[in-house]
């Protein structure tokens, strides 16, 4: 399994709230429809507290079985729609294709 990590910078003039709402309510359903997608997580940047602020406003994690599945999914019509939609909320996106190594599992989150 591989993971595509997208580091996202908010579009100028878009408030943090509008950025979050668009990404979660409009873009996420489009991206979730990408064929071969095994998992999808969005991380919205918050108050960094004592940490220096990051140059990104959020990140997304997309899991695929392998590089071929990722390439096919992103190259599909659904992948094209999701890719084109990013212009509505993102000024820039940097991608990192990774092989995930879980050291401690994520805690279960109840909705």
Q: How far apart are CA 68 and CA 74, in angstroms?
A: 10
Predicted pLDDT of residue 102: 86
Residues with Cβ within 8 Å of residue 84, at least 6 apart in sequence: none
| Number of CB atoms found within 10 A of residue 21's CB | 13
Running DSSP on this structure, what letter comes out for residue 106?
P
Which pLDDT tens digit goes with each residue over 13-56? Answer: 999 999 999 999 999 999 999 999 999 999 999 988 999 989 99
Predicted pLDDT of residue 111: 58
Q: How far apart are CA 39 and CA 61, in angstroms?
A: 8
**Domain edges within the chain:** 2-46+67-92
Predicted pLDDT of residue 98: 95
Q: How far apart are CA 5 and CA 2, in angstroms?
A: 10
Which pLDDT tens digit goes with each residue over 75-85? Answer: 999 999 999 99
Predicted pLDDT of residue 84: 98
Higher pLDDT, 67 or 101: 67
Predicted pLDDT of residue 68: 97
């Amino acid at each position: 399994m591989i993971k595509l990590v997208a580091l996202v910078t908010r579009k100028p003039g878009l408030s943090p709230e509008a950025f979050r709402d668009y990404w979660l309510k409009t873009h996420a359903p489009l991206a979730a429809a990408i064929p071969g997608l095994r998992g999808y997580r969005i991380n919205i940047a918050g108050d960094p507290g004592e940490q220096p602020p990051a140059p990104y406003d959020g990140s997304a994690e997309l899991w695929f079985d392998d590089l071929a599945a990722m390439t096919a999914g992103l190259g599909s019509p659904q992948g094209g729609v999701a890719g084109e939609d990013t212009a509505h909320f993102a000024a820039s996106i940097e991608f990192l294709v990774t092989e995930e190594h879980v050291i401690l599992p994520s805690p279960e989150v109840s909705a």
